[in-house]
Chains A and B, each alone.
Chain A
Amino acid sequence: MNTSPDHPDFTALALGEHIHGTPARAVIEALRTSVSARAEAEQIQNAGRLLSCVLKNQPPLRLDANRRNAIFAADIDAVRARFEEEERAAFEEEDAVPVVRRRQTWIFPAAAAAAIAVTVVAALRLLPGYSSSRATQDPLTGEPDNIIRVTPGNSAGEKSVPIHIRQQSPAIAEKEAPSPVLPQGSDLPAPPEAPVIVKEPMPQFPVIPATPPADYASPPAPGTPASNQGGSDTNRYKRGGKTL
């Protein structure tokens, strides 16, 4: 059971409300044993008393004489008829509310929100920066950018480049400013040079032809003595003066 002073049950008991069962027992036990709980209860009572004083001492608001006399001199039939008429009017007013207004008021805001969303998306698509048709064009020249894409047609031995690497177009390279030249004797350190990306050609590996060369001989069958292997195999099994 929560006996914290910051709990509605604690406030209720401090204000003299009748609460029953476990909450009441727990709060009473806390008030009996804890000094801080008693201090908190006293603060709650003080605040309630102060508020009560302030609210009760507001200037009294009364009925004016005409209204008071009208109450005492009321014709009970007229009063009954008036309230019945009022109730009937309230029911009719409720029934007169169109179904669309009463139950489907969410349709119009939802439609407006959807229309706004479609308009925003369409506007974004029309902007040059977001247009997919210009995505592969050079921003300066408008020419198609040199994006190398890996296509399924790449065969063995061709250069394979990852898809995210772009080659710089010559137009951009020409417009790049030269690196600044510092005056003689300047203490300023030289600015770091832009990293130069050297594109090295991919190593060319020997292509193994589909048909063996003329001097190619099948490796000796297992169990064949080395003396019977023939001279033409010497090149294949010796390289750099070593027997492989």
Chain B
Amino acid sequence: MNSNPPSSTSADLVRRAVREFETPLVGYAAGITHDLDAARDVVQDTFLKLYIQEDAAKFEGPGLKAWLFTVCRNRALDWLRRRKKLVSLDASPLEEFTASDPSPHDAAADGEETAEILRFFHRLPENQSECLRLKFQNDLSYREIAAMTGLSVSNVGFLIHTGLKRLRQLLSHETGGVPESAIRSTPLCAAPHCS
């Protein structure tokens, strides 16, 4: 069988996409599927789908990121639908990943505090945690999140506002608030990208 390799343009595009978005996409898909293997399959299919896109010009600039996250989300939801899997908010495998494979940075940081915040985060409703993840983990704007999820910008704003407020309430109930000094003193937030 004769194989048809992708054109250099699309191959370059996919290479760039894998290099930049592999990690956030796998993390995002795992947040939806709660299954790392399935998340990797979903992300692989997302990159493969990028090959067969006709108009490569639309992926210049921020369009690529939004497209990748949108396709990744749709495929992850398709996977969920096919498996008829119920997502449990209490037992997130992301917590298991954290526990089993801590990064050196996490090991140096106060793991207890991180685990506590993640525990609160996973108690949020699915739609709120998804919007917060897209906003604060993947740095997507309200408009991009709205385009991805099919929600209105106002609705995204409401979900982020409500989710953040709930998170703050949980944190203030447990730790007495989120003062700036506490964040700065956390070794976790001494990382360059957190400044």
Contacts and interface: CB of A to CB of B under 8 A. Distances in A.
Interface residues of A, number: 44
B52 A80 contact: yes
A51 B136 contact: yes
Interface stretch (A9-17, A97-105, A148-156, A165-173): A9-17
Contact of B193 (A6, A15, A56, A83): A56
A42 interface: yes
Contacts of B26: 61-63
B153 to A, nearest CB: 9
A75 interface: yes
B91 interface: no
B137 A56 contact: yes
B154 interface: yes
A62 B24 CA distance: 9
A126 B193 CA distance: 75
B103 A54 contact: no
A7 B177 CA distance: 19
Main secondary structure of the interface of A (DSSP, over half): helix
Main secondary structure of the interface of B (DSSP, over half): helix
A17 B103 CA distance: 31
A42 B94 CA distance: 29
B58 interface: no
A105 to B, nearest CB: 16
Contacts of B30: 61
Given A47-B168, A50-B189, A55-B137, A62 B22 contact: yes
Contacts of B66: none
Contacts of A7: 161
A9 B97 CA distance: 35
A43 interface: yes
Contact of A51 (B109, B132, B142, B191): B132
Report, as a range, how many residues of chain B touch the other chain. 35 or more
B40 A67 contact: yes
A229 interface: no
B6 A76 contact: yes
A43 B94 contact: no
Nearest to A60: B23
B168 A43 contact: yes
A77 B40 CA distance: 22
A52 B158 contact: no
Interface hub of B48, B101, B171 (most chain A Cβ within 10 A): B48
A59 interface: yes
A48 B142 contact: no
B103 A59 contact: yes
A52 B157 contact: no
B157 A57 contact: no
A89 to B, nearest CB: 11
A91 interface: no
A239 interface: no
Given A53-B183, A61-B27, A62-B23, A15 B36 contact: no
B25 to A, nearest CB: 9
A42 B51 CA distance: 44
Interface hub of A17, A54, A63, A78 (most chain B Cβ within 10 A): A54
Interface of A: 6-9, 11-12, 15, 17-18, 42-44, 46-64, 67-68, 70-72, 74-80, 83
22 contacts: A15-B160, A17-B141, A17-B157, A43-B178, A48-B164, A50-B178, A51-B164, A57-B105, A58-B106, A59-B102, A61-B30, A61-B36, A61-B97, A62-B22, A62-B23, A63-B18, A63-B43, A71-B47, A72-B14, A78-B3, A79-B48, A83-B52
Interface of B: 3-6, 10-11, 14-15, 18, 22-23, 26-27, 30, 36, 39-41, 43-44, 47-49, 51-52, 94, 97-98, 101-103, 105-106, 109, 114, 117-118, 121, 132-133, 135-137, 141-142, 154, 157-158, 160-161, 164-165, 167-168, 171, 177-180, 183, 186, 188-189, 191, 193-194
